[in-house]
Amino acid sequence: MDITLQQVSYAYAKNTPFEKRALFDVNLDIPSGSYQAIIGHTGSGKSTVLQHLNALLKPTEGSIKIGDVLVKADQKNKHLRKVRQKVGIVFQFPEHQLFDETVLKDIMFGPMNFGVPAEEAKSRAIELSRLLGLPEEVLEKSPFDLSGGQMRRVAIAGVLAMNPEVLVLDEPTAGLDPRGRKEIMDLFYRLHQEKGLTTVLVTHSMEDAARYADRIAIMHDGKCVLEGTPQEIFENEERLLDYRLELPQCVKFQKKVEQMMGKKLPTICLTEEKLAEELARLMKEEREV
Amino acid sequence: MLEKMIFGRYIPGDSFIHRLDARAKLIFVFLFIAIVFIANSWITYGVLFVFTFLIIRMSKIRLYFLINGLKPVVILIIFTFLLHLIFTKEGSIIFEWKFIKIYEEGLRQGIFISIRFFVLVILTSILTLTTTPISITDALEALLNPLKKWKLPVHELALMMSISLRFIPTLMDETDKIMKAQMARGSDMTSGSIKERMNAIVPLLIPLFVSAFKRAEDLATAMEVRGYKGGEGRTRYRKLEWATRDTVILLTLVVLAVILLYFRQ
Ligand SMILES: Nc1ncnc2c1ncn2[C@@H]1O[C@H](COP(=O)(O)OP(=O)(O)OP(=O)(O)O)[C@@H](O)[C@H]1O
Ligand SMILES: [Mg+2]
């Protein structure tokens, strides 16, 4: 499902003394099946953009096209339910949305709201909790008796269980242990590829953005200031620093090595694996000379 | 969604009303509530209405915002107005259509009650909109202080009040957030049939209660860690200061009361 933001502006609490403009003329194109990362410092408007992606917020100016539904200011829309079924959002700190008696029921809540039969919802829930590494016995527990990390996994399972076509993730792994982070990010990536999902990831981790995304957008003070492939984005360090962002660790490392050796690698390496490969190749060449 | 609600919110400002001592404002509102009940005729209610508008002007809060923020109350006022209009059966009939008969007295009562309701709500809102919760609490504590002699836990009451006031906006934001999260999971309180809406309440209330209790617990711990042991021996950072303008504003109330008594029937 293609999503297009056109000149989207948004103000919280419009027409009150607390009015706060959070977005200014944001343009963003998210083609079907792509993996889009959105980065930017705290308060730059990332979460606000995300809430537009399934019409929880409507732009105060401009419009958003989600599939074939057009969302505009003050426009009543009957198709929002369909949109919300297709666009699943994992909010920042999603563990706050858990409420049901048992973990199983909580995961089944979303799909059942959208008319999925109980049996089917149940099998999805069991499957997903396994994929997310939740132990079997957790399913019958109250979600409030879990650890923070387990609650996070349950909340994520609850969104994935709706089988969305578009998966929107707002810092899904913030505050998890390093191993858990990697597992969950890999799971998202696998789903992205296997099911052809369109994925939108908000993250503070430059490494994750570099590793997984096809395209990256940078938000700064409510504007979308830069958009491009990870290569393009991480080429220009000064620009990133202007937006209070940094290079991913391995790109930093690559720059240091290049500086010390007085040599340049042919490309910017966005993952450790790629960097190791390039360096090994370089060292081999040196030896042969 | 809920961001337009203004109960318990404070708007920073530097108007005459903002600068008044919180004690003066509290006394003012309490006396005003009593004085409102003197009014019983067109002139007296008219005076109350004008007086309220003058106060709004002085507070420099935009009328549009005030009315918009009090929408739920305005709906309640309209409802009471209609009740009085339809169910009071005194005086002459001024309007008749099928089985609906509207009496003169009903219209009069309806308008009077609405004005009374309206001015009370507006003035109490202006109190909270122009005074920080913390000064309201300080003022309340100061005013109730004499009651300590009778073992009334004044400090604790004031603290309870300030905490509740402080957390109204937080809870509103929280509600908004959880509502959105559940809407994204297909449970929508703002649309659908009545049954669907009822079903959407539980997934909203439970997380809200859980987080409110958790917040309360965290707050208690944080206070204890920072050495809070009740009002005993606690010094103050903010001092309330009574100025001439505070006396003046209370005197205008006396004038208002005299005018109302004079024109009362
Ligand atoms: N409910 C709200 N009411 C008023 N202002 C808000 C609200 N939510 C966010 N804002 C403001 O809008 C701006 C953008 O907020 P947003 O949550 O989109 O930032 P973010 O990029 O997601 O930040 P973070 O990385 O910290 O999550 C901020 O200045 C914030 O103060
Ligand atoms: Mg955010």
Clarify whether residues A68 and A210 are in a common domain: yes
CB A159 within 8 A of CB A172: no
Distance A203 CA to ligand 2 centre (A): 9
Nearest bound ligand to CA A48? 1
Q: Do A91 and B181 touch (CB under 8 A)?
A: yes
Angle at A39 between CA B3 and CA A231, to 5 degrees: 160
pLDDT above 60 for B1? no
pLDDT digits (tens, 9 = 90+) for B48-92: 999 999 999 999 988 888 887 788 888 889 998 988 888 887 777
Clarify whether residues A157 and A233 are in a common domain: yes
DSSP secondary structure of B143-206: HHGGGGGGT--HHHHHHHHHHHHHHHHHHHHHHHHHHHHHHHTT--SSSS-HHHHHHTTHHHHH
pLDDT (mean) for B181-194: 82
Our answer on whether the CB atom of A20 is closer than 6 Å to any ligand 1 atom is yes
Query: What's the CA gap between B57 and B42, in Å, rounded?
Result: 23
Distance A66 CA to ligand 2 centre (A): 21
CB B165 within 8 A of CB B128: yes
Query: Which candidate from A12, A17, A96 shows the least CB-CB separation from B207?
Result: A96
Clarify whether residues A149 and A255 are in a common domain: no
- Residue A105 belongs to domain with CATH number: 3.40.50.300
Q: Do A110 and B207 touch (CB under 8 A)?
A: no
Clarify whether residues A97 and A125 are in a common domain: yes
- Say yes or no: A18 contacts chain B, CB-CB below 8 A: yes
Pocket test for ligand 1, best of B1, B2, B3, B9 (most atoms within 8 A of CB): B3
Query: What are residue A39's DSSP bridge partners?
Result: A218
Q: Do B9 and A110 touch (CB under 8 A)?
A: no
Query: What's the CA gap between A123 and A76, in Å, rounded?
Result: 36
Query: Which candidate from A13, A17, A113 shows the least CB-CB separation from B187?
Result: A113
SS (H, E, C) B84-130: HHHHCCCCCEEEEECCEEEEHHHHHHHHHHHHHHHHHHHHHHHHHHH
Token representation of residue B57: 């002007």
Which residue minimizes the CA distance to atom 22 of ligand 1? A47
Which residue minimizes the CA distance to atom 12 of ligand 1? A22
Clarify whether residues A222 and A268 are in a common domain: no
The amino acid at A284:
K
Angle at A26 between CA A71 and CA A204, to 5 degrees: 110
Residues flanking ion ligand 2, Cβ below 5 Å: A 47, 92
Clarify whether residues A213 and A287 are in a common domain: no
- Say yes or no: A109 contacts chain B, CB-CB below 8 A: yes
Q: How many CB pairs under 8 A join A and B?
A: 73
Half-sphere exposure of B45 (CA within 13 A, CB side): 15
Alpha carbon dihedral B60, B61, B62, B67, in 10-degree steps, equals -150
Q: How is chain B split into domains, by residue range?
A: 2-131+241-263, 146-225
CB A227 within 8 A of CB A40: no
What does the pLDDT profile of chain A (289 residues) look like in tens digits?
Answer: 899 999 999 999 887 778 899 999 999 999 999 999 999 999 999 999 999 998 899 999 999 999 889 998 877 767 788 888 899 999 988 988 899 999 999 999 999 999 899 999 999 999 999 999 999 899 999 999 999 899 999 999 999 999 999 999 999 998 889 999 999 999 999 999 999 999 999 999 999 999 999 999 999 999 999 999 999 999 888 999 999 999 999 999 999 999 998 888 888 999 999 999 999 998 898 888 7
Residues of chain B contacting A96 with CB distance shorter than 8 Å: 174, 177-178, 181, 207, 211
- Distance between alpha carbon A80 and the CA centroid of its chain, in Å? 21
Q: What's residue A125's pLDDT? A: 95
CB A264 within 8 A of CB A258: yes
Domain count for chain A: 2
DSSP secondary structure of A45-114: SHHHHHHHTTTSS--SEEEEEETTEEEETT---TTHHHHHHHEEEE-SSGGGG--SSSHHHHHHHHHHHT
Distance A46 CA to ligand 2 centre (A): 6
Query: What's the CA gap between A109 and A118, in Å, rounded?
Result: 10
Angle at B114 between CA B36 and CA B102, to 5 degrees: 130
Pairing state of beta strands A87-90 and A166-170?
parallel
Clarify whether residues A131 and A243 are in a common domain: yes
User: Which residue is closest to B61 within chain A, CA to CA?
Assistant: A17
Clarify whether residues A193 and A160 are in a common domain: yes
Query: What's the CA gap between A273 and B247, in Å, rounded?
Result: 76
Q: What's residue B4's pLDDT? A: 59
Clarify whether residues A281 and A231 are in a common domain: no
A139: containing domain: 3-247
Clarify whether residues A212 and A120 are in a common domain: yes
The chain-wide mean pLDDT, for chain B, equals 86
| pTM of the full structure | 0.80
DSSP structure class, residue A150: H
Nearest bound ligand to CA A51? 1
User: Which residue is closest to B188 within chain A, CA to CA?
Assistant: A81
CA distances from B38 to B44, B114, B124 (A): 8, 15, 18
Query: What's the CA gap between B70 and B76, in Å, rounded?
Result: 10
pLDDT digits (tens, 9 = 90+) for B197-227: 888 888 999 999 999 999 999 999 999 999 8
Query: Which candidate from B180, B185, B188 shows the least CB-CB separation from A158?
Result: B185
Q: Do A16 and B3 touch (CB under 8 A)?
A: yes
Query: What's the CA gap between B48 and A110, in Å, rounded?
Result: 53
CB A46 within 8 A of CB A170: yes
**CB-count exposure of residue A143 (10 Å: 0-12, 13-18, 19+):** buried
Give Rg (Cα) of chain A. Answer: 21
The amino acid at B163:
I
Query: Which candidate from A94, A99, A110 shows the least CB-CB separation from B186?
Result: A110
Clarify whether residues A193 and A272 are in a common domain: no
Residues of chain A contacting B210 with CB distance shorter than 8 Å: 99, 144
ipTM for this prediction = 0.87
Clarify whether residues A63 and A26 are in a common domain: yes
Nearest bound ligand to CA A46? 1
Query: What's the CA gap between B264 and B37, in Å, rounded?
Result: 11
Q: What's residue B5's pLDDT? A: 65
In 3D space, the residue among A215, A262, A269 whose CA is nearest the CA of residue A247 turns out to be A269
pLDDT (mean) for B33-46: 91
DSSP secondary structure of A171-240: STTTTS-HHHHHHHHHHHHHHHHHTT-EEEEE-S-HHHHHHH-SEEEEEETTEEEEEE-HHHHTT-HHHH
CB B119 within 8 A of CB B28: no
